Structure 1
Amino acid sequence: SEVYNYLITNHGIAMIFFFLMPVLIGGFGNYLLPLFLLLENLLLPRLNSLSLWIMFPSLCYMELSLYGGAGIGWTFYPPLSLVNTVGSGVDYLMFSLHLAGMSSLVGSINFITTIISSIDFKTSVIIWSYLFTSILLLLSLPVLAAGITMILFDRNFGTAFFEPAGGGDPVLFQHLFWFFGHPEVYVLILPGFGIVSHICMSLSNNNSSFGYYGLLCAMASILVLGSVVWAHHMFMVGLDAKTAIFFSSVTMIIGIPTGIK
């Protein structure tokens, strides 16, 4: 009766962590960064290799979660992901996410060091988009790692970070998850933005037509504002009026640089 939930959970995780991120960021990034920065390879090739090989055990753990049963959705909200879910599937899924996150972190460090060592203010907007994407990953992934580690501790070691009966708060996990989840939206779209902007500039043969520095400032604004709008995914949990007004306002403001980009 839970097979549909298992498949939907793994489909969501697979599309984000094992398709979009490896292809858009890892794949295109490894191809485009040396090409535009005129390098033979990225600055830290061993880290690059590590970020690839970590994905394979991560994928294995995710497949094991199908057999153990992890019908908790791609957001894995507690209390559904805690005591109500029997079996080892959720634990395998958390291990899988830890490894996938480690892969992305290692790749981000490699991208940032490579770009900073070679970039100038005439570099293609693609390179800037990968720099901002990597910074977003570096800021948000450790928060997700903390949240899923707390889930593992609640499930296996008797803690009560998110268990109301023990004084925990399930809403805390939503804050931790969406602090990662909303920047993840921009992580997935910024490389695409950069590629489209580069194509437009190349076809027009004139950087000023589309405002090179305007695009850079727009991406920098998305980086900053995208990190402080996460709770607009949580209006139904009972946020107080001032908090709701703040996140609503910032959400409207971030539409400006997004529209410019």
Structure 2
Amino acid sequence: MNTTTRQELLAAFDALLQPERFKDYGPNGLQVEGKTQVRRMVSGVTASRALIEAAIDAQADAIFVHHGLFWRGQDGRVTGWMKQRLALLLAHDISLFAYHLPLDAHPELGNNAQLGRQLGLTTISCFGEQSLGFLGGRSDGGSFATPGDLARHIENTLKRPVTQVGPAQAAIKKIAWCSGGAQGYFESAIAASADAFITGEISEPQAHLAREMGVTFIACGHHASERYGAPALASHVAAQFGLYHQFIDIDNPA
């Protein structure tokens, strides 16, 4: 097992994800500075206390996540849960790397690309604000006979129930998707002539739009739709440096 420096690891993440290209809701990159040398890395979806504790048990020197600790507009005081998480990271000298929209968007290793891969979808183009939405169809060139068939395929793949709204009977060929809380991209997906849109969450307005526009909306869970980017990218970078890497999935029903 090799080692690298914290700065070399940051440079590798930045080179792949190009955070400067994105207008985001929080800082991308190194959020908490740990030890200089990194040998063992853990990845996960969110920098929760449970993940940090699991990383400590795994003797990690660094953690790579999609959802970091700091967000625009949050209370900046270091109290309560924030103090607890930071105290664990600082006490064990663990670096925290977090990339939000840049990890969603990476064309091969990002959340959207990896979700599409899990679902057997091929990307043809991107759509929506900052081109974060992916548009394509089944990798085999076929279609789903009904929206229910697509919903069942997603449930079987992600191992969790989904929320499906829209037409009951319509062939699904052109599929749009954007992981996480991207329900606001639904209108852009409709404008892109998608037959169905897959994301993590649904809000009240999307149910009406799906019914009125005849386009299927499927919410498969924020966490469930974003389980794949962090381990794919962290594993890729760990292999570059010969580091130990472990993905730890902290279950989340949301």
Asked if these proteins are the same fold (TM beyond 0.5), I'd say no
User: Looking at both structures, which has the greater relative contact order when contacts are Cα pairs under 8 Å and sequence separation is at least 6?
Assistant: 2
TM-score by structure 1 length?
Answer: 0.27
Structure with greater proportional helix content: 1
Calculate the TM-score normalised by the size of structure 2.
0.27
Q: Which has the larger radius of gyration?
A: 1
